Structure 1
C-alpha cells in the first residue's frame, strides 16, 4: 500500500510538472505577442508611444541600451529618439558611452570650462564607429542643443581602452603631473626619476596591438602592472588622493592586463578583465561623480547582458559581462534596467569599414520570428514584467543575443526588456 501511494504521488507530480512546463512555454509566446508596444520614431511624433517603456523603467537610476553590432545603423536611430525621451521625460541627464573613461571625462570638463568645443570633444573622445556613423548624428546634435540648457545631457565614458593617439601624450603628462604632487614614496625612487616616463611611453605603444616580440611584451606588461599596482597601494595609504586619477591608473592596469591575455591567446579572460573594469568605472560614475543623476548607458549587447553565456546555468564560467557585474552591486541591482536590441532581417556594417554583412535568418521558433509574423516594425517588450508574473519560468527560447548570433537560452533573465527592429540597415558614413 505504501509503495503504491508513493508511485501515485510521483505520477501526480510528473503530470503537474509537465502541465506547468507546457503552460510556461505557451504562456511566454502569448505574453510576447499580447504585450507588444509599437514605438513611433518619426521626428514630429510625441513621446506617447514610449509610455509603456517608461513605466517599465520605473524609477531606475541606470538604463542600459545595447546593440547587436557597432554597425547597426537602424538601432542608433531608435536610440536617438529613446535618449531624447529619457532626458526630457524621465530625468536622465548623463549619457555614458562605451568609450575611453579618461579622455571623455577630461574632454567634458574642458567643454564646460570653455576650453574646447563640444564637436572636438566628441570627435576625439568617442569611438569612430559612432562618430563616423550618420545615424548617430541626431544623438550628438541633440547633446549640442542641450549643452547650454539648465539640465544639459552630460557626456561621459566608462571603457578602459585607449584608442585615440592624441590621448597618449595627454595621459602621460596628466599622470606624471598628478604623481609629482602626491605624497607617495614611489616618486622619490630612482626608477620613477629615470625610467617611469619612458616606460609609460612603451606601455602606450604596446596598446597598439601586434604580435611581434610577443614574449618580451608580456614580460614588460607584467613588470609595469606591478609598478602601477605599487603606486595604487601607496595611494591607498594616504588621504585626499584624486579619485579620478586613481581610477585612470586602475584603467591602465586593467587595459594592460587585458592586452597581456590577448597576447597569451586567452580572449575570454581578456574580455572579463575589460568588462569588470567597465562595471567598476560605471559604479564610480554613478556613486561618486554623478550621485544625484540618472545615467543612460550606450554599449553593445555583449557588455550590458546580465550573463555572457548562452547557458545561464553553465559551470566553470570564465568570462563575465559588465551588466552581470554591475547588477551584482547591491545599490544598483534593483535600480538598473537593461534593454537589448534585436531584429529580423537586413544588414549591418560599421562606419569604419566598407564591409557590410547580411543578418542571418532567425530560427523559425525564435522571438524574432514571432514578432515578424505579427507584422511588427519597431517595438518594445518588457521581460521584467513577465518574470515578475511567472518567476518559475525557465524554458529557454531562441533569440539573437549579440553579434547577430542566435542562441537558445533564458533571455528573459539576460535583459529586462528588448527593442525589436524588423529590418536593420547598416551605418552610412557621416560627412563630418
Structure 2
C-alpha cells in the first residue's frame, strides 16, 4: 500500500508549477497559523507564478475591506507602495515575504491588493469619516453633525461601552445607521467609490453588531458573523471587478468548506493537553483552561466559514488550498518561536515525512484515503474527511517563523558627553518658598530646555560662555538669570498676582468675551498656524519607572530618543503614524533584565504620543462635545496671558479619552490656551477606570491615570516640551485596597531641529525591538536628564496642586 501511495504521490500529486489550481478563477490560499514563515514564502511564489503565467491580477487579504481600498487609492495617487504596510495586518506586513510581494507589485502596477475583512485599522480610522461625508454630500444625503459624531464614535472608533448599557443610545445609533443605509439604497447609478463606501459601512456595522453581542456575552459559534461579512465583501469585490481572477490570502480555518464531520478524538485531546503544557513552559501560564480550550475547538462543528459560503456560491470555480507541515517552528504564543508537535502516525504529514517528500501539493479529489489526520488547523491533528474541507493541501516538510524586517540602522553620529558645565538648581515660590513643579528652564541662545520636577529641582548643561537662563511657570512672572560660573543655583519667582476671574465678566478690546467652547474651536482652527506642519527632528529624554506599594523600584529604563516627525503636527486616531526614530542612548537602572518586546519600557513611547493633546483626537480639544466645560479664567503663563478651562467628561470612553477596556468611569482636567494665538500650551487630564479582573489576577484592580503636558514656542511654532503620566493600580479585596502598583512615564524635550534633518526609518511603534543598547555613563553624567523624585506617589485626581 505504501509503495502504491508513493507512486500516486509521484505521478498524480503535483507541484505548484503545474496547472491544477490555475484552472479555477478564484483561489483561496490558507495557512495553519498566522506565524508560518515557510508558508508565507511559498504563497508569494504561488502568487507570482499565477500572476505571470495565468493572468491573476488581484490579491485579496484577510485584512480591512476599506483599509485596502484606501491603500490602493492612495498608492495610485502618490505611488508610495509602502502604504500597504498600514492596511495589511502586521502579522504579514512586517515580514520580508510581504515586502517581497509589494516590491513585485510595484514592478507590475497592473496588480492590486484589496481586503475583505470587516476588522479595519489605521486607514479606516484616518480617512473613512471624511470619505463618508464627501460621498453623502455628493449624493445630497443630509446627515447632521451629531449623527456623524455618533458614527465617528461607534463605527470608526469602536467606543461601545455606553452603547452596550444604554438602550436609548442603541436605538438612536440603529436609527442613524438605518437612515444612512436607506439613503444609499435609494441612489441610482452609483459609481465604484460610492459602492465601496456603502459596503464599508455595512461591513463595519456588522463588526460593531457582533462585538456588542460578545460584550453582552451572547453565544455564537467561533467567528461565524465575521466569516459571513468577509464572504459578502469577497462577493461584492468579485462582482465589481467582473471578469478578474482573484487570489485570497487568509487562514486555513477561514477558507475551509464543510466542517460538520469534525472529530475531536482522544488523539486530538492528547495533543491539546500537550499544547497546554508547551504554552505554559513558554509563557508561564495558559490563556485558557483545558476545558475551555476543548469546548472552543468543539465549536468548529458549528462553523459556517467564509470558505463554505464561497464554495456554495461559486462551486467548482473556487479552489481552496490549505498548508501544513511536519516539523519545525512557527511564530506562536506571544510571537515566540513555537515547536510543531510531531504529528501522529498515519497522518498525512507523517506519511509524507517518511517518504522524505519535498514540498508538494496534494490534490484531495484523487487522494486515496477518505478519512485521515492532518494538522492544518493550528498544527492540531484532526481526523476528518478532508476532501470535503479543502480542494488541496500543500505540504511543506519543515516550518520556520517568518523573517521579520529589521529597522536597525547604523547611526552615523556618535553621541558624546558635551564639553559644557552642568548646572543643578531649584525653583521656588518667592513668597512661600515652596518648590514650583513643572517650571520651564532654558537658555536664550538655545532650543534646549528642561522642566523642574515635583520638588522644583532641575539640571541643565550650560554654555561655556555667559548666557541668560530664562525661567517661567504657570501663575508666575517670567524671570531671567545671567549665568557665568555657577554650578548650583536657586531661583525664586514672583506670583503673577493676577486677579482676573471669570472670562464671561471680561470685555476684551470692546468685544464680548469668548465662551470656553469658542476658545477650543479657535484653538482647533489655529493648529496649522501654531504648530509646525513640516518635517522636524526632536530629541527627548524618556524614562519609565515602576514601584510597588512599599516604594521599591521594580523596573526602570531611561533613554535619549531622537524622533523624526515626517508630516509635522497633525491630529489623527493613530498619532504615532508618520513618526520614526532611534534610541541614541540607553540606560537600564534596575536589576530586571531588559525586555526587547515592543510594548515594554521605552518601547511604550508610542502609546504616550497617542495621549498628546495636539497629535491625538481622543481628547477635549477635538471631542469637546463629550465634555462639560466649566471654569474659565485668564492667568499668567510663560510671560503671556492664557485661558484656563476646566473640563469634566460627560461620556467617558476610548473615543474621548484614548483609554479603552477597562472603560473609564470618569475623566476631568484643565487645558490652557494662549489668548492671542490660541495655541494650547499646557494640558492636564485625570482618568479613573472601572474595576476589572482577568483570570490571571488574584484580585480585582482599579487604575488611575494622571497626564501633565506642556508646549514651548520656538521661532513662532509650538513643540511638545514635557509630558508626564502617572499610573496607579489598586488591588481590591472586598472593596478594600490590599496592594498598589505605581508607574511613572515621562519625556522631556532636549532639542528641536527644523532643518538639516535626520530621516529615520524605524516606526515609533517599533522603537525598541532590535535596537542597539548604547550606554555611556559619562554622557549621562553631563546630560540634561530630568531628576525624578525618589519618593514619588500618585496624587489624587485633582489639579488644585
Question: Distance between the aligned counterparts of 1:71 and 1:316, measured in 2?
Answer: 21
1:429 to 2:393 alignment: no
Partner SS for 1:327: helix
The structure-2 alpha-carbon separation of the partners of 1:360 and 1:315, relative to structure 1 and needing over 3 Å to count, comes to closer
State the match for 1:170 in structure 2: 127
* Matching residue of 2:257: 306
Cα pair 1:36 1:379 within 8 Å, conserved? no
Tell me the secondary structure at the aligned position of residue 229 of structure 1.
Answer: helix
Between the aligned partners of 1:262 and 1:68, the Cα distance in structure 2 is 25
The alignment status of 1:92 with 2:56, answered yes or no, reads yes
Aligned to 1:378: 359
Q: Secondary structure at the residue paired with 2:182?
A: helix
- SS of the equivalent of 2:16 reads helix
Question: What displacement does 1:31 show?
Answer: 5.0
Change (3 A) 1:205 1:197: same
Structure-to-structure mapping, 1:261-340, within 5 angstroms: 261-266=213-218, 268-269=220-221, 271-288=223-240, 290-309=241-260, 311=262, 318-329=302-313, 332-340=314-322
Counterparts in 2 of 1:138 and 1:325: CA distance versus 1, 3 Å: same
Does structure 2 conserve the Cα–Cα contact (< 8 Å) formed by 1:338 and 1:417?
yes
**Distance in 2 between residues matched to 1:324 and 1:407, nearest whole Å:** 18
- Structure 2 residue aligned with 1:155: 113
Structure 2 match to 1:400: 375
Cα distance in 2, alignment partners of residues 139 and 38 from structure 1: 30
Equivalent residue, structure 1, for 2:183: 234
Aligned twin of 1:115: 78
| Structure 1: distance between partners of 2:30 and 2:229 | 18
- Which residue does the alignment assign to 1:368? 349
Counterpart position of 1:134: 96
Contact 2:22 2:50 in 1 (8 A): no
2:124 touches 2:156 (CA, 8 Å); kept in 1? Answer: no
Question: Quick one: distance in 2 between partners of 1:307 and 1:221?
Answer: 36
**What's the counterpart of residue 324 of structure 2?**
342
Whether 2:341 is the aligned partner of 1:357: answer: no
1:418 aligned partner: 393
Question: Is 1:368–1:420's contact at 8 Å kept on the other side of the alignment?
Answer: yes
Q: Is the 8 A contact 2:262 2:300 kept in 1?
A: no
Question: Is the CA contact 1:64–1:297 (under 8 Å) kept in the aligned structure 2?
Answer: yes
Residue 243 of structure 1 aligns with which residue? 195
Change (3 A) 1:219 1:320: farther
Report Cα offsets for 1:40-59 as digits up to 9, x if no partner: xxxxxxxx95343x2x2253
1:254–1:221 CA distance, 2 compared to 1 (3 A): farther
Distance 2:378 2:37 in 1: 14
Query: If the length of structure 2 is used for normalisation, what is the TM-score?
Result: 0.43
User: What is the CA deviation profile of residues 231-266 of structure 1, one whole-angstrom value per residue up to 9, with x for unaligned ones?
Assistant: 223322332232211111111111112212321335
CA RMSD for the aligned pairs?
A: 3.1
Mapped to 2, the partners of 1:302 and 1:218 lie a distance apart of 35
For the pair shown, which has the larger CA radius of gyration, 1 or 2? 2
Distance 1:369 1:334, change over 3 A: same
1:13 equivalent in structure 2? none
Selected match of 1:143 from 105, 113, 121? 105
Change (3 A) 1:196 1:275: same
**C-alpha deviation, 1:284, in angstroms:** 1.4
Equivalents in 2 of 1:235, 1:368: separation in Å? 50
- Relative to structure 1, the CA distance from residue 291 to residue 194 in structure 2 (aligned partners, 3 Å threshold; closer, same or farther) is closer
Q: Does the 8 Å CA contact 1:178/1:245 hold for their aligned counterparts?
A: yes
1:342–1:419 Cα contact (<8 Å) kept: yes
Instruction: State which of 147, 152, 155 in structure 2 corresponds to 1:196.
Output: 147
Q: CA deviation at 1:309?
A: 4.8
SS at match of 2:99: helix
> Contact 1:99–1:127 at 8 Å: present in 2 too?
yes
Structure 2 CA distance for partners of 1:226 and 1:425, relative to 1, 3 Å: farther
Q: Take 2:28 and 2:242, find their aligned partners in 1: how far apart are those partners? A: 17
Q: Shift of the alpha carbon at 1:287?
A: 1.5
Matched with 2:679 is: none
Task: Indicate the SS of the match to 1:333.
Answer: helix
| Unpaired stretches in structure 1, ≥5 consecutive residues | 1-25, 40-47
Shift of 1:316: 11
Where do 5+ consecutive residues of structure 2 fail to align?
A: 264-297, 408-801
Q: 1:50 aligned to 2:16?
A: yes
Deviation at 1:315, TM superposition (A): 11
- Bigger RCO (CA 8 Å, 6+ sep): 1
The alpha-carbon deviation at position 218 of structure 1 amounts to 8.7
State the 1:61 CA deviation: 0.8
CA distance in 1, matches of 2:215, 2:198: 26
Secondary structure of the structure 2 residue equivalent to 1:207: coil
Give the Å deviation of 1:304: 0.7
Partner Cα distance (2:167, 2:346) in 1: 46
| Structure 2 residue matching 1:231: 3-state secondary structure | helix
Indicate the larger mover: 30-39 or 401-410: 30-39
What's the offset of the Cα at 1:296? 1.0
1:103 to 35, 52, 67: 67
| Paired residues of 1:349 and 1:356 also in contact (CA < 8 A) | yes
Higher strand share: 2
Q: Distance in 1 between matches of 2:198 and 2:15?
A: 43
Q: SS of the counterpart of 1:342? A: strand
**Paired residue for 1:258, among 195, 200, 210?**
210
Whether contact under 8 Å (2:206, 2:229) holds in the other structure is: yes
Give the CA deviation at 1:378: 1.1
C-alpha displacement at 1:195, in angstroms?
Answer: 1.6
**Paired residue for 2:24, among 46, 55, 60?**
60
